[in-house]
Amino acid sequence: MACFWGPDSLFGATLGVVATRVGYSGGKKPNPSYRDLGDHTEAIAIEYDPNVINYNGLLELFWSHHDPTAKCKRQYTSLIFYHDDEQKALAEKSLKEKQGKYKNPIVTEIIPASTFYDAEDYHQKYRLQGHSSLCKDIGLEGNGRLIKESFLAARLNGYVVGMGGIAQFEKELPSLGLDEKTADYVRRLVVKYEGHGMTC
């Protein structure tokens, strides 16, 4: 899906997703880094509650938020990782269905999940980290571990670029535990950017 910042916001704001991490995967180079990625691809690891969203739901978002026929360098190429045979079958089925929508062949590869190397802390929840006072207000600033694991960080990383939308934000707000000033700060951003799509 190209640069992983966009999908981190997209999936992070999706109901049923509980945590996200961006990283490098799919290749063989040990311990890749952003500046030395080797044969890996920018990827996102998504933890989700299957009672709220299933693998098919995640696949739908995957297909609808990038051009799977675009040929890109390995860093940005279109990949789906599966964790078991069921996911593999669902991914392959969805690819076949989506091909009908495109004139050019879909280049997406469907491959088994392999070692996922977390990206550097500054890439995690990148859009949220662009709001340092907000991160400070919610106690995340400088805490790399929490920025990766936190449900709130995943959500806000989406909301600050309008993902999820204002209706979902208002509905979820009481359970997010934000104070009024912080809620208002985020609300303004959701309203400002809702519908702008996935920007990277």
For residue 5, state whether it binds ligand MHO (rule: CB under 6 A). yes
Closest Cα partner for 77 from 107, 51, 120, 55?
107
Q: Which stretch binds ligand MHO (CB under 6 A): 3-11, 25-33, 58-66, 105-113?
A: 3-11
Among 7, 26, 42, 148, which residue sits at the site for ligand MHO (rule: CB under 6 A)? 42
The distance from CA 152 to its chain's CA centroid, rounded to whole angstroms, is: 14
Query: Which residues in the 50-109 window bind ligand MHO by CB under 6 A?
Result: none
3-state SS, residue 11: helix
Compute the C-alpha angle 121/127/129, nearest 5°. Answer: 50
For residue 200, state whether it binds ligand MHO (rule: CB under 6 A). yes
Q: In whole angstroms, how close is the CB of 109 to ligand MHO at the nearest point?
A: 19
Q: In whole angstroms, how close is the CB of 144 to ligand MHO at the nearest point?
A: 16
3 is a catalytic site residue: yes
- Which DSSP string corresponds to 125-174? THHHHT-HHHHHHTT-TT-HHHHHH-HHHHHHHHHTTTTTHHHHHHHHHH
Positions in the binding site for ligand MHO (CB under 6 A): 3-5, 42, 123, 200
Q: Report, as residue numbers or ranges, the catalytic residues.
A: 3
